[in-house]
Amino acid sequence: MLSATLPSKAPVSAEAQQAAAARLGDVAIAAALVLLAAAILLPCYGDFPMATWDESRNANNAIEMAAAGHWLITTFGGVPDHWNTKPPLLIWLVAALLRAGVPPLLALRLPSFVAALAIVAVLFAYCRWCLGSRLAGVLAGLLFLASPLFFGPHIARTGDYDAPLSLFVLVLVIAFERYAHLVARPERRRWLVLAAAAAVLGILTKGVAALLVAPGLLVFAAVRGRVARMAGDPALWCSVLAAVAVCAGYYLGREALDPGYLRAVWDSELGGRYGTTLDAHAGGPLYYVRILLRLTEPAALLVPFLVWRLVPWRLITWRLITWRSWSPPPSARRIAGRDSLLICLLAGASLLLAISSAGTKAYWYAAPLVPLLSLAGGVALASLAGTSGQGSARPGFTVALLAACLGALTVVGQYHQFAGIVTAAGSLENGQLWYGQALEQFRREGVSSPLVIVDGGVANDAGFAGYTPVADFYRKYATLRGEQVEIASTGTPPAHGIRVLTCDPRLVHRYRFAAGFQPVFGDARCVTGPMGAN
């Protein structure tokens, strides 16, 4: 009798079951793409020693911030750093990870790793849930993962600014496209807030570089006839003013505490460095085009196809044949994801033009192009395959596309392994790269401190005398651990009984056979031992 009074459970409809299965499949695909990116980056993150330039500078900024607790001003050698004038978002993240006890090299590179994984997730999520194409999301993710440029040193593999910057630029472009495309005001404003947040985070990561896509976004708005609507939207102006206020608050606050910072920013980002070739980073106007083609970037190689897909050939053919002025049927005008394709190409062209016109050329400046071109390529290939949100009208062609992308990804994976071997073999001439590995090995073998690192420094064109950034970082990290490690110049010989470490190739052989030196450990790169009686 009791069971008869209980309400019966409503049966689940077949449509609801299919929708739940589709959502589960989407989550599984996204997770598989993210795990694939993690499998490329994480297992061998330590195979690449800390880079002498940029990455080691960021590492020193972060560890000094973590030790001193000055979170607004980045320092190097205890004084405000006006050589690296980038805003401190990346430095904040690395400093927080170091204070949390994360191993130093992983703490330095984890923000770049997470940014690369997040880009994969964003590409798939946007294609699947905004454009309604699962295949476009898969292809965009695979094209991105098959990038030897992005997944090489100085971008996703190292603790530099360009991977996080690329994530924020991608989100900015996607959110702006959604804002321009949608009609419903509440939903448009949510995307507008996301675009403003991405712009702020991008600026706090690498300054004005986050806004190099802005001219392309404005051209997109003009081409799609959205300028008047946007100009009359108070929410847009409020978002712009809020973003300007946040960024200006940082820059003005830093200038108040660190006079001369804004002048250094001007010289670094907008003035002298933009029009001047620094550190032999030279190249012509087609430098980045050659870089993309030389590295056989799959997404970049698709650019002619993307432009071809963007042109409404069926509309042009209709009007040429019929010679009519009225609009053709909707089927002749529809190109799946055309707005996404258009905004990615315009934003990418804006970025490419800006970095190509700069005096200093560096391959990692092109990093934000890779996610944009990957998204455009995934959308165009899925459209060519005749896909909808649930499948494909040409399953054989779809399978062939997937197989081709997976094959490219396999080749790139082998490239990574080869690049790692070449890097390790070719870096013996720069002893700075090996101090981290040497000190860690000493800890495992119970070698005690105090320890003096003797190094002559890295030759450079920046005017730094005795520049030892990698050794200096690991000295500071040892100090945080309570160890006694110091750095001495080659002109100051250590006292009797002091344990010496050098990985400077100019000194390794000299110390190994020097009178009064007792080597207890050494290999082709480094040597250590106590100084004996002379």
Q: How confident is the model at residue 18 (pLDDT cuts 50, 70, 90)?
A: confident
Q: How far apart are the C-alpha atoms of 440 and 28, rounded to whole Å? A: 38
Q: How far apart are the C-alpha atoms of 459 and 213, rounded to whole Å? A: 36
Q: How far apart are the C-alpha atoms of 306 and 301, rounded to whole Å? A: 10
DSSP structural state of residue 462? S
Angle between helices 162-181 and 338-357 (to 10 degrees): 140
Q: How confident is the model at residue 388 (pLDDT cuts 50, 70, 90)?
A: very low
As a whole number of angstroms, the longest Cα–Cα distance in the chain is 102
Task: Give 458's contacts (C-beta < 8 A, 6+ positions apart).
Answer: 52, 430, 432, 464, 467, 468, 469
Between 147 and 369, whose confidence is greater? 369
Three-class DSSP category at 232 = coil
Per the CB < 8 A criterion, the answer to whether 451 and 485 are in contact is yes
Q: What is the mean pLDDT of residues 121-137?
A: 92
| pLDDT tens for each residue of 54-83 | 899 999 999 999 998 888 999 998 899 998
Q: How confident is the model at residue 391 (pLDDT cuts 50, 70, 90)?
A: very low
Q: What is the mean pLDDT of residues 88-115?
A: 95
DSSP structural state of residue 146? T
At 257, the amino acid letter reads L
Location of structure tokens 């080869």: 418
Calculate the alpha carbon distances from 55 to 184, 308, 526 in Å. Answer: 44, 40, 22
Location of structure tokens 């990561």: 205
Lowest mean pLDDT among 179-183, 373-377, 386-390, 432-436: 386-390
Q: What is the pLDDT of residue 186?
A: 84
Per the CB < 8 A criterion, the answer to whether 62 and 94 are in contact is yes
Q: How far apart are the C-alpha atoms of 352 and 269, rounded to whole Å? A: 16
Task: Answer yes or no: is pLDDT of 326 > 50.
Answer: no
The whole model's pTM is what?
A: 0.88
Q: How confident is the model at residue 429 (pLDDT cuts 50, 70, 90)?
A: low
Lowest mean pLDDT among 243-257, 401-415, 469-483: 401-415
Pairing of strands 75-76, 79-80: antiparallel
Q: Which two tokens stand for residue 275?
A: 């029009």
Q: What is the mean pLDDT of residues 229-239?
A: 93
At 458, the amino acid letter reads V
The tally of CA atoms less than 13 A away on the side-chain side of residue 194 is: 18
